[in-house]
Amino acid sequence: MVTSKTLLRVGLILGLSLLHFACLRSDNNVASPSSAAQTLVNIPQSQTRLDPPPGYAENKNTVVMLGMIHRSHVGSERYGLDVVEALIREINPDYVLTEIPPDRLAQAVKGFAETGEVTEPRVRVFPEYKDVLFPLSDEMDFKIIPTAAWSRGMADYRRAAMTRLRDDPSRKADWDAYTAANEASDKKLSGRRDDPYFIHSDEYDAITKANLSVYGARFADDIGRGDWERINAAHYKLIEAALENHAGEGAVMLITYGAGHKYWFLEQLRQRDDIILVNPRVYLDRIKAE
């Protein structure tokens, strides 16, 4: 056991349309509430704010959309895990909306509490969670909210569908358009894929949107529920639920997803009237100045 913290409570309350799960870890029951690692699974009855809390417009939450590069963080000089850690510390979130499926969080929390390591397979593939976010939960007071709608079944179906499409002569035009879009995107991103300032720019979003829109348009009917538009909509539905549940708190909410998803989410977030959307460049500037 790496840390002295143990799993204190895993609560699970099931309702007809509400699932709420909370995990707290404390240091032999003497740690203060602010230092206890916290997680939250919150899938509400409705995804639409019908009755906003009093003062929600005055007490707007600050939302930061942080694009991640997953395994590429490891070894990157410009956007390494040290930069991810510095950003999270500087942002100092109250909630972190993660690319973790709701059904995977409990096991990830349990494993980390018992061993000091993230062992859940789906979560540990993300270095930003395994090596940064979960360790930081020992000393920072934020709640982790899982908002990924992806599932193993979707992944397996997509993999098989893409293999079939690649080898289908009747879909050669679609596949050629897809590969050409990838090549064009690769050329434009070359040498800048791990530049956090570039990643959090309108230019980056325009490049990724142009590329991934081809993938989405050409293969939407082949990939099923995991196609680009549907999966982003499913992810955002869970993100939106968290935003609705915590509207009007004046909290800081950090969203951490693969950078390719960023443009899609930002298009939705910019339509909200109850949040203040802050570009991570603000925090990068602060880190650089320190």
**Domain holding 283: CATH number?**
3.40.1010.10
Total structural domains in the chain?
1
217 found inside a domain: no
Burial of 58 (0-12, 13-18, 19+ CB in 10 A): exposed
| Residue range(s) defining the domain that contains residue 251 | 6-150+231-289
> b/e per residue, 208-219, with b = 16+ CB within 10 A?
bbebbebbbebb
Looking at residue 50, what is its pLDDT?
A: 57
Tell me whether residue 66 is in a domain: yes
* pTM beyond cutoff 0.85: no
Residue-level pLDDT at 17: 31
Q: Cα(12)–Cα(239) distance, rounded to whole angstroms?
A: 20
The one-letter code for the residue type at 151 is: S
- Average pLDDT along the chain, 290 residues, taken 10 residues at a time: 36 31 32 40 46 77 98 97 98 98 94 94 96 96 96 91 96 97 97 97 98 94 91 95 92 98 97 95 94
